[in-house]
């Protein structure tokens, strides 16, 4: 209300700003989308800053730092994202728009790393979890919606998952329905209808995304394994993520015979007693089945305490966000960068 009334004013950065956020609490794919966008811009010759708050002990920031290592992406971590952005821009400079390559193939970013810009100047800022961070003015507002959980009971925190009322969806230029591969086509159509009912005539671009499994990583052996490693196995899914349902559903699609769950709160800091619970569950299952029993956790969970996981036989599921239908979405981003 204070921003709407002009009492508080948003800071306008000297580069375009793309905000990725949501209206519910956790598990909506905000950080994976921020990473996806960063790579899109990198391969279009536009060096991005990703500005992240660093919640929950900074597990998401650590994951981004690991994935961006050696790339032109700059990462700004901390509560004062204005300060982080201005500090990086002062250090690196602002990119001349005339040197940007065409964004016509922005989505096709699996190219040659040597095509990356060797100039350190920044051309865009990506605001991770930015919808409620009104201190920074944005050019594009992307809102992530979880197809698996949607809006829960549609009540505000602490009585429900909503961070703000659903009419705030009208601020979005893009609405991305995430985990779209984990629900039926009929359910996706119903979700779009529900969203349109809250938009009051506004016409955002709709897109759909999923978390595409890439590989397993075995910390105890320091090596990667194929996704077929869990086919026919009994899987124990250990997760401290915002939407544990989505992770277990994703594992089901990889062909195990069964999936059992040990769910913890989002950003849970795993301790030795949690490992004991995991080992006890594995032992219990080994007594009741002839199948191989495999423990699996998420990359975010692993990066909170790598040394702890290395002492146990567990696989880390590494995934990347994939936008399923993207042309309108990419066109909007390209138009933003062209202005």
Q: Is residue 221 classed exposed, middle or buried when 0-12, 13-18 and 19+ CB atoms within 10 A define those classes?
A: exposed
Fold annotation for 17-211+322-338: Rossmann fold (3.40.50)
Specify the domain boundaries for CATH 3.40.50 within the chain: 17-211+322-338, 212-320
Give the pLDDT of residue 329.
83
Q: What's the token pair of residue 26? A: 């956790």
Give the pLDDT of residue 57.
56
pLDDT digits (tens, 9 = 90+) for 134-163: 999 999 999 999 999 999 999 999 999 999
Residues β-bridged to residue 212: 320
Write the CB contacts of 301 (distance below 8 Å, at least 6 apart in sequence). Answer: 59, 238, 239, 240, 241, 268, 270, 316
Give the pLDDT of residue 171.
93
Q: Which residues of the chain have pLDDT under 50?
A: 99, 104, 107, 109-112, 114
Task: State the Cα–Cα distance between residues 104 and 100, nearest whole angstrom.
Answer: 12
Q: Is the pTM value of this prediction over 0.85? A: yes
Give the pLDDT of residue 335.
77
Give the pLDDT of residue 157.
92
The CATH number fitting domain 212-320, selected from 3.40.1350, 3.40.1130, 3.40.50, 2.60.120: 3.40.50
């Amino acid at each position: 209300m204070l921003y709407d009334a002009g009492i508080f004013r948003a800071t306008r950065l000297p580069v375009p700003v793309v905000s990725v956020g949501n209206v519910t609490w956790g598990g909506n794919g905000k950080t994976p989308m921020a990473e996806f966008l960063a790579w899109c811009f990198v391969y279009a010759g536009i060096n991005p800053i990703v500005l992240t708050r660093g919640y929950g002990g900074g597990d998401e920031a650590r994951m981004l730092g690991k994935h961006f290592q050696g790339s032109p992406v700059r990462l700004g971590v901390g509560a004062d994202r204005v300060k982080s952005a201005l500090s990086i821009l002062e250090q690196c400079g602002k990119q001349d728009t005339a040197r940007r390559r065409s964004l016509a193939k922005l989505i096709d970013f699996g190219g040659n790393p040597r095509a990356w810009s060797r100039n350190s100047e920044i051309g865009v800022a990506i605001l991770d979890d930015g919808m409620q961070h009104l201190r920074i003015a944005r050019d594009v507002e992307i809102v992530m919606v979880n197809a698996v959980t949607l809006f829960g009971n549609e009540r505000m925190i602490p009585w429900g998952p909503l961070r703000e009322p659903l009419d705030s969806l009208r601020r979005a230029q893009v609405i991305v329905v995430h985990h779209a591969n984990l629900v039926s086509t009929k359910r996706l159509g119903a979700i779009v209808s529900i969203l349109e009912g809250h938009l009051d005539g506004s016409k955002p671009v709709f897109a759909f995304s999923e978390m595409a499994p890439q590989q397993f990583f075995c910390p105890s052996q320091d090596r990667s394994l194929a996704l077929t490693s869990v086919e026919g196995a009994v899987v124990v899914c250990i997760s401290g993520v915002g939407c544990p349902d989505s992770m277990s559903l994703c594992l089901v699609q990889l062909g195990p015979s069964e999936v059992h769950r040990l769910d913890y709160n989002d950003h849970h800091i795993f301790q030795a007693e949690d490992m004991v619970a995991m080992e006890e569950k594995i032992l219990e299952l080994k007594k009741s089945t002839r199948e191989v029993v495999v423990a699996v956790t998420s990359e975010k969970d692993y990066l909170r305490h790598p040394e702890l996981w290395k002492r146990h036989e567990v696989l880390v599921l590494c995934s990347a966000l994939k936008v399923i239908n993207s042309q309108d979405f990419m066109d909007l981003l390209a138009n933003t960068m062209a202005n």
